[in-house]
Amino acid sequence: MDANAVERGGAKTEGPTWDLAPGDDSGASIVVMIGRQIRAWREAKGLRAVELGRLIGYGGDIVRKVERGARIPRPEYLDKADEALGANGLISAMKPDVLAVRYPKKPRNLSRLEGQAVEFSMYTIFCLHGLLQTEDYARAIMRTFRPLYQPKELERYVAIRIGRQRVLHRLPAPEFSFVAEEWALRRPVGGKAVMARQLEHLLEVADLPNVEIQVMPTANAQHPGLSGSLHLLKFPDGSAAGHSEDLNGSRPTTDPKVLRLLDLRYGIIRSQALTPAESRDFIEQLLGET
C-alpha cells in the first residue's frame, strides 16, 4: 500500500497524495499561511503537536508537516482541528483554499475554467478526452509520458484527471459535445480489458442527457481537425475560451478572432462525424469485437 494511503491510525484514505506539488509557489504560500494559523491556535491552547494529533486522530508527524507548510491538510483535518482548538469555524473556513491548492497549478487553472463553463466542445485525435477517460485508461496513457512520472506523481495526475469529471454531473448541467477519432477508439490503450471497460464507460457517459459523443471515421480523410485537437468552452455571460494546437498551443485564449475560428472548425468537424446515434452503434460494435 502507498505510504500516502495510510494517514490516520492505519486506515486507508481515498484520493491522491496531499503533498504539495513541486514548483507550485503560489500554492505553497497558501499552505504555509494555513499551517502558521493552525500552529498559532495550537500554541495558544498550550498543546504540543503530538497532543493535537492525538485529539484529532492524526500522527504528530502529520501535524508538524501541516504546520510548516510541507503538507496540504485535508478538509476533515481542518474541521477536527477547528473543533479541538475551539476556533469557532475560523480554521474550517480555510477549506476552500485547501481544495484550490490541492492540484498542480496548470491543471488547476484548466479545472477552474471547466467549473465555470456551460458549454463544452471537445475534439481529440490520438486518445479520448480526459473528461471521458476511466482511471485505468488515464493511468495507461500517463505511463507513456516522458520523462516518466514517479509513482506518487502519476497517481496525483490520474486523480486530477478523474476528479475533473465531476463537471459532467454538475447542476445546472452544462452541455457537452465530444468528437473522437475512430483510431482513438481502436487503439487498445492499457490492453484489451482496460479498453473494453473504457468503451463501456463511453456508452455510460453518452447516456447522460447533456452529453453527445461522436466518432470521426478514419475514412473521412480530410476535415479541419487534422491540424490538431480543439477545446472550446463557453460561459454564462456569453464569453468563451479555447485552444487548438496549431493556433495557440495548449494555452487557453479569449481572443475573439481565434474563438471564431475554433467555433467554425468545430462546427465542420461535428457535421462530418457520425451522428451520436451512429456513434453509439459504432462503439457497441467495437466493444463486441474487443
User: What pLDDT does residue 74 have?
Assistant: 87
User: What pLDDT does residue 5 have?
Assistant: 34
DSSP-assigned states of every residue in 188-222:
-TT-HHHHHHHHHHHHHHHTSTTEEEEEE-TT---
Q: What is the CA radius of gyration of the chain?
A: 22
pLDDT tens per residue, range 207-236: 999 999 999 999 988 888 888 899 999 999
Position 271 pLDDT exceeds 70? yes
For helices 75-85 and 25-44, angle between their N-to-C axes, nearest 10 degrees: 20
Cis check: omega of the bond before 172, within 30 degrees of 0: yes
Dihedral of CA 52/58/63/64: which sign?
A: positive
Cis check: omega of the bond before 96, within 30 degrees of 0: no
User: What pLDDT does residue 113 have?
Assistant: 83
* CB proximity list for 132: less than 8 A, separation 6 or greater: 178, 180, 201, 202, 205, 213
Helix, strand or coil, per DSSP, at residue 11: strand
* Confidence grade of residue 12 (pLDDT, cut at 50, 70, 90): very low
* Confidence grade of residue 13 (pLDDT, cut at 50, 70, 90): very low
* Confidence grade of residue 138 (pLDDT, cut at 50, 70, 90): very high
User: What pLDDT does residue 116 have?
Assistant: 87
* CB proximity list for 284: less than 8 A, separation 6 or greater: 203
Percent of the chain with pLDDT over 70: 87
* CB proximity list for 89: less than 8 A, separation 6 or greater: 82
- Residue for grid cell 457535421: 271
Would strands 230-234 and 6-8 be described as parallel, antiparallel, or unpaired? unpaired
User: What pLDDT does residue 6 have?
Assistant: 32
User: What pLDDT does residue 94 have?
Assistant: 92
Cut 0.85: pTM above it: no
DSSP-assigned states of every residue in 25-76:
HHHHHHHHHHHHHHHHHHHHTT--HHHHHHHHT--HHHHHHHHTTSBPPPHH
> What is the dihedral angle through the alpha carbons of 75, 81, 86, 92, rounded to the nearest 10 degrees?
-10
pLDDT tens per residue, range 61-119: 999 999 999 888 988 999 999 999 999 999 999 988 887 776 666 666 667 788 889 99
